A and B are shown apart, each in its own frame.
Chain A
Amino acid sequence: MIEISGLTKTFGSGDSAFTALKDVNVTIAENEFFTLLGPSGCGKTTLLRSIAGFVDPTSGSLTINGDDILSKAPYDRPVNTVFQNYALFPHLTVAENIGFGLEMQDRPKAEVQSVVKEMLELVQMAPMADRMTSQISGGQQQRVALARALAPKPKVLLLDEPLSALDFKLRKEMQIELKRLQHETGITFVFVTHDQEEALTMSDRIAVMNGGRILQIGGPREIYDHPAERFVADFIGDTNFVSADLKSVEGDAAEVHLPSGQAIEARSVAGGPTSGAVTIAVRPEHATLTAPGALLDGTLKNIVYFGTDTHYHIETEARSTFVIRQQNQPDSAEDHKVGEPVGISFNPGVAQVLRD
């Protein structure tokens, strides 16, 4: 278990000071696939490097299974890293790369050999054992980097955008592969990515970061269906933002009045507003196109056919664009025309009140 509390990192000082991490608090459970998600510069890599020991936080605490590791050098921490550029040793073979960590721990030669063999099997690289790392493909280098980091059996594996250099098909394969490896080894994975789809498909829990802060922590479904802040809703998937008036909050449920005057039940957010003007978020696929006189009314401005689904762009009465995504049925005739007045409706509970 990794416990991080009050972690802050400021680079430089005076006017040029830059705070990369602001009071980060998070607890990562044993055997969890935990993802740090955010745009570049959000602090996710700094947080990962703080755990690895390459960044010395300005303040805060960081423990693994109760041991304070901030005072320890990188080589004394029970964590290993898969680097974004893999950082394989060019002067060593595939097998020597994988055995490097074990050799540095002065494990007996026989053990090193058997673990290297086991790891080569695990990542399906056994036939390449004696190749130099420059003689294998990018995907294979990725596997070697994984095997090298897993070989010493760390308590935590840190992965710094490990799939970003791979092409689309290989990335899909490696996503499944990574899940399998995490399952088989039972090691806690802390995974850094800016790819929201990658985060949603692989993670047990996701921490969405921006500006050095963790904005929301939750399972993929929770993060997607119930984003707590505008940034989270915007960064992950597509979202419609609607201004509304919050009337009352009772536990999870909130009563919200839409600009049309209609009242709906939305989902409230912990630590969010309890009344007044708010923004609510509605996913395009959670709304349906209906006849005028619905929750929101507007004019159909554009219809975009995507094969699997169709996007309807509607200009609402508040002069903002609302997108509805509807799945296509085979041979369904298009019964809407650009320019016609339409209505937007959605079920109670799909609208999410945002914190800001």
Chain B
Amino acid sequence: MSNETQSPHRRWLLLTPALTILTIAAAGPLLIVLVFSFLTPGDYGGVIWKFSADAWFNVFAERDFFDETVSFSDAHLSIFWRSVRLSLLTTIVAFLVGFPTAYFIATRRENRRNMWMLLIMVPFWTNLLIRTFAVMEIIRNEGVLNSVLIGLGLIDEPIQLLFTDFAVTLGMFYVYLPLMVLPIYASMERMDFSLVEAAYDLYASRWRVLRKVILPIVKPGVVAGSILVFIPSLGAYVTPRVLGGGKNLMMGNLIELQFGQGRNWPLGAALSITLLAVVMVALVFYVRSAGSEETPHG
């Protein structure tokens, strides 16, 4: 084992660049955010270096303006819940579309697979804003979809699709689909397809081959894909901003609001930390439940 013969000194040396970048670019800012969440907001943004727990208080509660009574507030939490809900929906739809797509590509001839993967990846390399506006162009009231439906006589008036939860979910699904297809395809391409034949041979119907053989074997890819779609969806900013209009806020927009118009940096910081906590909890929960199925027959 080559890495065991390396001196510990040398190993640390190799790790130094990565550790330096992680410390400066990840741990440092996180620490700043955490500190800011316990400070007092400045009048024109920024913070005043004076301890205050108000931001954390405001995440979950509100003080009545007149009688100063404290009550539980779900204003922020409801946006959190919305974000989780839409992100989950996005992940599920991305899986339902991404899994068959990955299967299709993995079962093509070897020299064709890269071409199909390229087609999946091309949108991913396109600017996010452009892609989001493209979705907007399709689903807005005077857009392609409504025009076609009216032209076909299927509807009389345009359906309001833009600025709805549907629009936000559709946009995020479209933007993050490659992140679902890629890891599932990677594990499916490694899968030995004679296992599928073996299962057919052993009296498994198509549905059971999928459930009992293919899914368990490509599960690492499905887990990775779901995480890769769910987490950026949860913090999505551009897509809900453009497609959700002003009303359909998600966590990313709420946080941005505090640093911008809201001029309440500590609250923005506290919300950011909360988002991070939600992601962590969701991750631990998901990975655990996905891992526990590994021994289905006990």
A residues near B, CB below 8 A?
52-54, 73-76, 79-81, 83, 85, 87-91, 96, 100-101, 104-105, 148-149, 152
Q: Which residues of B contact A90 (CB under 8 A)?
A: 195, 217
In the bound complex, what is the Cα–Cα distance between A101 and B213 (angstroms)? 12
Contact of B208 with A87 in the complex, beta carbons under 8 Å: no
A16 to chain B, nearest CB (A): 13
Given A85-B194, A89-B198, check contact A75 B204 (CB 8 Å): yes
Q: Which residues of B contact A105 (CB under 8 A)?
A: 203
Point out which of A73, A87, A90, A101 has the most chain B C-beta atoms below 10 A from its C-beta: A87
Given A96-B297, A101-B203, A104-B203, check contact A91 B217 (CB 8 Å): yes
In the bound complex, what is the Cα–Cα distance between A96 and B203 (angstroms)? 15
Given A53-B200, A73-B200, A96-B297, check contact A89 B205 (CB 8 Å): no
* Per-residue interface assignment for chain B, residues 191 to 204, with 1 indicating a CB less than 8 Å from any chain A CB and 0 otherwise: 01011011111111
B298 to chain A, nearest CB (A): 11
B residues near A, CB below 8 A?
192, 194-195, 197-205, 208, 212-213, 216-217, 294, 297
Contact of A152 with B297 in the complex, beta carbons under 8 Å: no
Q: Which residues of B contact A148 (CB under 8 A)?
A: 202
A-B contact count (CB 8 A): 64
In the bound complex, what is the Cα–Cα distance between A101 and B198 (angstroms)? 9
In the bound complex, what is the Cα–Cα distance between A20 and B155 (angstroms)? 55
Contact of B197 with A87 in the complex, beta carbons under 8 Å: yes
A246 to chain B, nearest CB (A): 48
Contact of B202 with A104 in the complex, beta carbons under 8 Å: yes
In the bound complex, what is the Cα–Cα distance between A81 and B200 (angstroms)? 10
In the bound complex, what is the Cα–Cα distance between A96 and B194 (angstroms)? 18
Given A87-B192, A100-B202, A104-B208, check contact A74 B197 (CB 8 Å): yes
A46 to chain B, nearest CB (A): 14
In the bound complex, what is the Cα–Cα distance between A107 and B259 (angstroms)? 63
A60 to chain B, nearest CB (A): 21
Q: Which residues of A contact B212 (CB under 8 A)?
A: 100, 104
Shortest Cβ distance from B195 into A: residue: A87
Q: Which residues of A contact B198 (CB under 8 A)?
A: 81, 83, 87-89
